[in-house]
Amino acid sequence: MKLCDRCGGKGYSVTGEKACPNCKGTGRIESVSLGEASASEIDELVTKGATRCTVCKGEGKIPVTETCEACGGLGREYSCAICGAKLSTRSELCANCSKKPVVHVLERACDTEDLVIGDIYRGKVSGIANFGAFVDLNDHVRGLAHNKFLKRTPEVGEEMVVRVRNIAPNGNIELEPVEVGEHHTLEVRKELPRTRVTELPGRVGKIVSIEGEVIQVKQTGGPTIFTVADDSGLVFCAAFERAGVRAYPEVDTEMIVRAIGEVSVRNGQIQIEIRSMRQLWGGEASGVKDRIERAIDERAEPADLPLLVESEVISRLRPKMREVAKEIRRAILKSKPIVVRHHADADGMSAAVAIEAAILPLIREVGGADAEYYNYRRAPSKAPFYELEDVTKDLSYALEDHSRHDQKMPLIVLMDNGSTEEDVPAMKQAQIYGLEMLVVDHHHPDEAVDKYLIAHVNPAHQGGDFGITTGMIGTEIARMINPEVEEKIKHFPAVSAVGDRSEAPEAARYIRLVEDRFSIDDLKKIALALDYEAFWLRFNDGRGLVNDILCLGRLDRHRKIVQLLCEQAKEAIDEQLRASLAHVKTQTLPNGAVMNVLDVENYAHKFTFPPPGKTSGEVHDLLCKRYEGKPVVTIGYGPDFAVLRSRGVRMNIPKMVRELREEIAAGGVNGGGHLVVGSIKFVGGMRKEVLAKLVEKIAACPADAAGISGGRQEQKVEA
């Protein structure tokens, strides 16, 4: 049976309208039945002499209808339960199929209300008494076949075909064994109206039916826990077969199912104790899927908020930023795991933690208090790109979670990395396993990455450059995801701007935005503390510690930890500079730029803070002050790498890397970064040739002694 498609279940169609015969088209009547009229109707009749017509509801007209030809006025379309032939009456079988007897089998969710007196059912003998045999028709329905109907004493566990003779008012079921030859077998399913997940708190203790998508299947030492999501939310459904045995092994993740069970409360959460669950197919499944997708799409729509500061570039990026925010919200609503990968510096950490602060409350709201521990992970990347080491770890964790807990493959969100050609090898691996990826970055982008991404935000796409930091963009996206976190993370863009030494106009605006809470010196200390702690955290996210540094916890602890880390970082930097500055070699290039070269392998402390990239940056900053007003380039090199910092020299490091790779085929050159700040790797035996060619290219770049603005200062490009 299904609702008639033509009349929508009404059994008739409206062809027009006519005057109401009860009120002669006036909409008012002058008499009412005292037994049927309400107090307000009687009062209106007494005071005004007439009241609203109850037939036409005061409209004065009633619709003219005719019986629906498609369903014959039944409002339902009935088909034979055996052969599927369309029926003209409300019956179970067509004339042909009804020639054979039908043996009904009750599904587990059925109860006494689903029995029909006179129908035949299949059951199993569950007990023998002096007066007869008890027969279970399913786990919840038991009847008695009295001795007077038994030709022999059956054995416990024996299947028996019985007819329901009577159902007593107290629920006792009287059964009679019958002999059937050739017959049809028909499953009886519990028919209940669909209950939405949001309605379950008001149905505790009742039997309900829900339709949705299986998000996760988790086997415990006792029941099997199915996480089912419909168009309003998700609920945990417990099914028990035997201790530690998988219930409904045919049901897997991403299947559309109908589950029937009793609503209960466990550990403060609504749960359904499943009586039956089955996969939906065809039109039923697609209808449920479409309903869920429409609801999720609507609920995933990000907030439409004005930017924290004025910015033409970020304003032009808003459509792509909304796309990223929506994809993240969709993943949360579908309980899809999220992995946030970020560059391990102040910019990358502030961007990633902004997203983290926005999504964790939503993950807990959707999936429960512990959902964040298995549906979210943040991981730093030492390099400013998505390395093969990173994707290998992410895939390893994802595949293990999929195997052990039947979780979906995660959504990867790359912050402050992911835009360059160096990211492509890792992205290719991720694509093989179906990992969807988002990128929010400000490194100079390469179009080669776009075919591996579902969304890509980079200021260079809208005429901006690396002065628009990832922390700025990430914070604005976090506000779109969850506006309630704005006050907590409003200072993150200023931290990232100071950490990456941005000279963009937006940097000054974000700094002014929070100057009542954080001075420029405070912001510099936070950025330095993040860089220092990132070095020691290595591949650990350090959530609690990083939250304290970024002032997401107690203010007193924030001030103490930032002060301590800054003191330790400055001591380490001073010690490194004392050892390194005397070994810097300086020369003036033909383009007028002052080039400084430092062998960080032999003249800097290794395996401690600051690392080679940071060391080169600190040396560069000091030399920029020494050669004030002149274009300056600093190269810190080791056995197989070089770190570049520039002020006032218009370089394009990604382009230079590509040229070096072609011109020195045996050099094994790769690398990248921003236009004027980056790192290069090569094989150790070709160091002399690579560095010599690199210096030639730098000398050929235009140098702006007066402008210096052509080379905004950036920090923390790890070698």
- Model pTM score: 0.76
The string of pLDDT tens digits covering residues 176-212 is 999 888 888 888 888 888 999 999 999 999 999 999 9
- pLDDT at residue number 620: 93
Neighbours of 514 (CB within 10 A): 18
Query: Do 260 and 209 contact (CB within 8 A), yes or no?
Result: yes
Residue 473, Cα to own-chain centre: how many angstroms? 20
User: Where is average pLDDT lowest: 82-96, 246-260, 493-507?
Assistant: 82-96
DSSP secondary-structure letter at 649?
A: B
- pLDDT at residue number 367: 80
For strand 173-177 and strand 86-87, is the pairing parallel, antiparallel, or unpaired? unpaired
The string of pLDDT tens digits covering residues 698-711 is 999 988 754 444 33
Query: What backbone phi and psi angles, to 5 degrees, belong to 160?
Result: -145, 135
The string of pLDDT tens digits covering residues 299-350 is 999 999 999 999 999 999 999 999 999 999 999 998 899 999 999 999 999 9
User: Where is average pLDDT lowest: 152-156, 507-511, 707-711?
Assistant: 707-711
Q: How high is the mean pLDDT of the chain? A: 88
- pLDDT at residue number 716: 35
Query: Do 593 and 624 contact (CB within 8 A), yes or no?
Result: no
User: If DSSP codes are grouped into helix, strand and coil, which group holds residue 683?
Assistant: coil
Residue 395, Cα to own-chain centre: how many angstroms? 17
- pLDDT at residue number 339: 96
Report the percentage of the chain scoring pLDDT > 70.
Answer: 94
DSSP secondary-structure letter at 194?
A: B
For strand 184-188 and strand 102-106, is the pairing parallel, antiparallel, or unpaired? parallel
- pLDDT at residue number 188: 86
Neighbours of 151 (CB within 10 A): 7
Query: Do 498 and 528 contact (CB within 8 A), yes or no?
Result: no
For strand 224-229 and strand 207-219, is the pairing parallel, antiparallel, or unpaired? antiparallel
The string of pLDDT tens digits covering residues 555-604 is 999 999 999 999 999 999 999 999 999 999 999 999 999 999 999 999 99
411-428: average pLDDT:
93
State which amino acid sits at residue 491: H
Q: Give yes or no for residue 685 having a pLDDT over 50.
A: yes
Query: What backbone phi and psi angles, to 5 degrees, belong to 559?
Result: -65, -40
Alpha carbons within 13 A on the beta-carbon side of 302: 26
State which amino acid sits at residue 230: D
DSSP secondary structure letters along 684-696: GGGHHHHHHHHHH
Can you tell me the distance from the alpha carbon of 1 to that of 21, in angstroms, rounded to the nearest whole number? 36
Range of 16-25, 115-124, 479-488, 671-680 with top mean pLDDT: 479-488
